[in-house]
Chain A
């Protein structure tokens, strides 16, 4: 299967080490991350709950394995949701 570029958008809790946990999944599955963008935090309402942060990651790989990686990312407790927002060829 030919690798294609994908954009994953993750909604994560704004806590120390989240990026490390996510990067670890890509490392274990042998992916090179092309770029990472951490977007502004959405503050939580009230209390001292951490806010939520969006992380956009561009990687290339086969769609099947990336589907697997997406689920492995969602397994991280601090990761709320991961979407593959690739709509067309992003190369």
Chain B
């Protein structure tokens, strides 16, 4: 039977098990949208800006482990996706973006709403396609899904001209793909695994850094077995947070620029560093030449191009983290590394990540209260900035994929749409969006989407009246010249009410817990505007390009009470 291009796309999405599409229509995709009602099993969710569609697909994918799908029209619709696609690329998230394109005859002639989106997204997609023949469409979609979630996951874009949606072809969905240039290595090389096992067995001070690859390959049990058998302390990257339970005795939290002091000390002192599914981002390593100076580095990653890219790998193993660990664990000898583990525990006691006693409303305290009241069971989605680091530091993540955050790209505005996507994917889980007042204003329009879809996302705005992370850098490294960082806010409570979302403003410490409880008790979405101490900084901090020796810890003097007069108000501009 012959189907139109639009029908072929929808049929293929159904065959791939897609249930939700985040999108926004426009001229070039009207034929596609016109076909959607024939496929009630595909739930289309109308966002308010295409960036929101891409982030929602991203949040959905991270929370569920499925592929996230988004639609946009040609030209501005497609370019509005770009930030979201780049975000998914940097964090290796399987997102499929389908964009409409102008009629084939008009391509390359600067037609209305034409943009070369495959050219634009070339460096920020795992792969992309411009479909010039409807007969190729089914094969391309098959390839797209295969590419998106296998190997190192990543976003794929399919650009479909308007007339290809309308043209007909026989529909045969291929059983498998034929991609001679794409064969991810899954099993690690046995000789390398043997070498790694020997290094680990002989190690005195080993440490594991677990990254997003552990989440992607679901290597949780294998990681736990390795850590427990060989008594190896486990630290994680930001995107690895939760892949190893943070309440585990061998968990030493996040590493890097705002990582735990003890985790960074452990890396500094380690003799064998086992890097699992991570890529040695500069936010993890600091000054590369001084990173893990005494360590033999075992780097396990599925992407061969990551090996040796940023940090030398003494024992590289290309493969799927889970499969490699399964093979590796068989050769690991149980040992007792009491001395080393005690050393880390001493460091932890000396440099705890605690919250100081303060009469003011501390952002860290807000995060901690959200943790207490959700009993650590929520999915936490963040924007980017100080609040993001406080969320990562002060919520105890015991389950994988419960911290959803923009790591590689550091995209402000990720929080709200990604939280929405996560909530759509996990309707029975509590989802908290912990956002900054700056980040939140970047994609605030998605409040309407949340309401339209009745997604019960709880929103905590950590409102300090500044673009706080930049302000912190200005304070510490630019002699407190606060250029363009004081930011005024609308009345978020009134904004929320305008979107029919109940909301509260919290100014005092004692109001925090009742407000969070009220939000949790409410059936639908809820917003709390936490007016926190404006000039609170994120500590610990390793200054950019610096070494572990230069870690800045929280100064132990009381901080001034909240001074509301410091806030920039619209009325006094």
Contact = CB atoms under 8 A, between A and B. Distances in A.
A9 to B, nearest CB: 15
B303 interface: yes
A75 interface: yes
B296 interface: no
A72 B180 contact: no
B122 A21 contact: yes
A75 B305 contact: yes
Interface string B91-132: 000000000000000000000000000110011001100000
Interface in A36-67: 49, 52, 64, 67
Contacts of A80: 180-181
- The B contact surface, by secondary structure, is loop
A76 B123 contact: no
A81 B178 CA distance: 15
Interface string B181-197: 11000000000000000
B305 A17 contact: no
B150 to A, nearest CB: 11
Contacts of A7: none
A18 to B, nearest CB: 9
A68 B309 contact: yes
Contact of A17 (B118, B180, B309): B118
Given A68-B305, A74-B304, A74-B305, A24 B122 contact: yes
Given A24-B123, A28-B123, A71 B178 contact: no
Contacts of A90: none
A79 B182 CA distance: 8
Contacts of B304: 71, 74-75
Contacts of B309: 68
Interface string B137-158: 0000000000100000000000
Interface residues of A, number: 22
Contacts of B544: none
B179 interface: yes
B303 A75 contact: yes
A73 to B, nearest CB: 9
B127 A77 contact: yes
Interface in B469-507: none
Nearest to A64: B308
A68 B308 contact: yes
- The A contact surface, by secondary structure, is mixed
A77 B126 contact: yes
Nearest to A12: B181
Contacts of A17: 118, 122
Contacts of A77: 126-127, 147, 179, 181-182
A76 B182 CA distance: 8
A53 B141 CA distance: 24
Contacts of A76: 127, 181
A37 B304 CA distance: 26
B305 A13 contact: no
Contacts of A79: 181
A68 to B, nearest CB: 6
B265 to A, nearest CB: 30
A60 B181 CA distance: 25
Contacts of B303: 75
B181 A13 contact: yes
Contacts of B118: 17
A20 interface: yes
Interface in B257-296: none
Nearest to B156: A77
A64 B307 CA distance: 12
B321 to A, nearest CB: 18
Contacts of B180: 13, 52, 80
Contacts of A64: 308
Contacts of B181: 12-13, 74, 76-81
B182 A20 contact: no
A64 B313 CA distance: 13
Contacts of B308: 64, 67-68
A60 B247 CA distance: 51
A84 B118 CA distance: 29
A23 B304 CA distance: 20
Contacts of B122: 17, 20-21, 24
A80 B183 CA distance: 9
A64 B182 CA distance: 24
7 contacts: A13-B180, A13-B181, A20-B122, A21-B122, A24-B123, A77-B147, A78-B181
Given A52-B180, A68-B305, 6 more contacts: A12-B181, A17-B118, A17-B122, A49-B178, A74-B304, A76-B127
